[in-house]
Copies of this chain bind each other. A is one copy, B any other.
Amino acid sequence: MQLFYFKEVDTSTQLLELDKEQSRHMTKVLRKKVGDQVHITDGKGNLYDGKISLVTSNKCHIDIAFAKAYPKPFPRLHIAIAPTKMNDRMEWFLEKATEMGIQKITPLLCDHSERKKINVARFEKILISALQQSYQFHLPVLEELTSSQDFIKRKIEGKKCVAHCEETEKIQLANFIETKADFTVIIGPEGDFSNREIELAIKNGFQPTSLGEKRLRTETAGVYTAAIFNSKIES
């Protein structure tokens, strides 16, 4: 059954009244009719059974019944990553990382960033679409664009590492992930982190980490990290 994300639903909701645009999408694009059943999530781990109870030219009502609460994922993956120069590459990362179950994404503004502005609303839409498509119930948290310095100095629980391309002593990513600890990774832009950023990260407890011998693009490094983390905690 098709899954829909509605952030306005909670465990006390009995009736969901879609706004005009949502109604049009549900009834005109997806051709849902009165009596049709759908699955709904609030993105906070809850699944609801929904039944379309009213359809007019610009309204759609859904009767809601709470069905199941999925526990908060643990350990959690948090990737802070410099948005790529080409938007579609970053968007691909957002979609794939969501499919693989990431919990938090922070777009990073770095010393070598070519992209200095992002469209958070558009990014959010991609996360929602990927959540629905991959049938998950915890929408990843998407933060505002944050400077690398501010992020590096933040208090972070669990293990944290910096993935950079400079040739230094590094641990293989797979060997640094623990199955009982949250995991935060920072990934730089096309031109990599600056030496200043790398030094600051190491000074603040970020472990230099290798994503393998291949030269991966920024968005590939992000997806690679999500895949390895997912495999490691599920094995």
Binding site for B on A (CB under 8 A): 92, 96, 99-101, 133-136, 172-175, 212-217, 220, 223-224, 227-228, 230-232, 234-235
Contact = CB atoms under 8 A, between A and B. Distances in A.
A172 B172 CA distance: 21
A224 B234 CA distance: 13
A135 B165 CA distance: 14
A174 B220 contact: no
A217 B175 contact: no
Given A227-B223, A227-B228, A228-B228, A214 B172 contact: no
Contacts of A214: 99-101, 134, 136, 230
Given A92-B92, A134-B215, A214-B100, A173 B224 contact: no
A235 B231 CA distance: 14
A230 B212 contact: yes
By Cβ-Cβ distance, the 9 closest A-B pairs, closest first, are A227-B227, A224-B227, A212-B234, A174-B231, A134-B215, A174-B235, A228-B231, A135-B215, A172-B235
Given A175-B235, A231-B174, A235-B175, A100 B220 contact: yes
Contacts of A215: 99, 133-136
A95 to B, nearest CB: 8
Contacts of A99: 214-217, 220
Contacts of A133: 215, 217
Contacts of A231: 172-174, 212, 224, 227-228, 231
Contact of A172 (B92, B134, B220, B234): B234
Contacts of A96: 220, 223
23 contacts: A92-B92, A99-B215, A100-B214, A100-B216, A100-B220, A100-B224, A133-B215, A133-B217, A134-B216, A134-B217, A135-B215, A136-B214, A172-B234, A172-B235, A175-B235, A212-B231, A212-B234, A214-B230, A223-B223, A224-B227, A227-B228, A228-B231, A231-B231
